[in-house]
Amino acid sequence: MNAAFPQNLNVRTMRNNAGQNQSQFWEPIGITQSGGSRYESGRSMPKPVAALVRLVHQLGIDISKVNADKASMIRLLLSDQIDPEVLAALRKLAATAQALEQAAASDAPPPDSQSAAA
């Protein structure tokens, strides 16, 4: 079994923790409410569905925004063909963007604004 995509996902717990009903949880990955209900009740989940659940609900990827251009960038990031310094800079940029999103969600000033005001 691939450790990156465990097959023992407890999707009902994931959905309840997210505060979503079945339609809200399953629609972003193209699964009907009734299909999702069957997975939550113990029906075996195909590996591609489990991978989509992980991408969308554990990693926060909006798969509806993935297009051919973005897919080529994702493939490059996942390959060993990218300069380590470029990859480190991208990680730093991603961390900054995530901090700014969290600050905006909590109505707190961005991290740089706090240090600039001091």
Does residue 103 lie within any of the structural domains?
yes
Q: Is the pLDDT of residue 80 over 90?
A: no
How many angstroms separate the CA atoms of 116 and 30, rounded? 45
Does residue 86 lie within any of the structural domains?
yes
Global pTM reads 0.69
> Hunting for tokens 């005001």 — which residue is that?
117
Does residue 96 lie within any of the structural domains?
yes
Q: What is the mean pLDDT of the chain?
A: 85
| Mean pLDDT (whole number) for 86-110 | 86
Does residue 114 lie within any of the structural domains?
no
Find the domain containing 22 and state its range: 11-64
Q: ∠ CA 67-69-74 to the nearest 5 degrees?
A: 90
How many angstroms separate the CA atoms of 32 and 97, rounded? 32
What integer pLDDT is reported at residue 110 of this predicted model? 57
12-47 per-position pLDDT tens digit:
999 999 999 999 999 999 999 999 999 999 899 999
Structure tokens at 62: 């909006």
Question: CA-CA distances (angstroms) from residue 39 to 7, 9, 49, 60, 66?
Answer: 12, 10, 10, 20, 25
Return the percentage of the chain with pLDDT > 70, whole number: 84
CB 118 within 8 A of CB 112: no
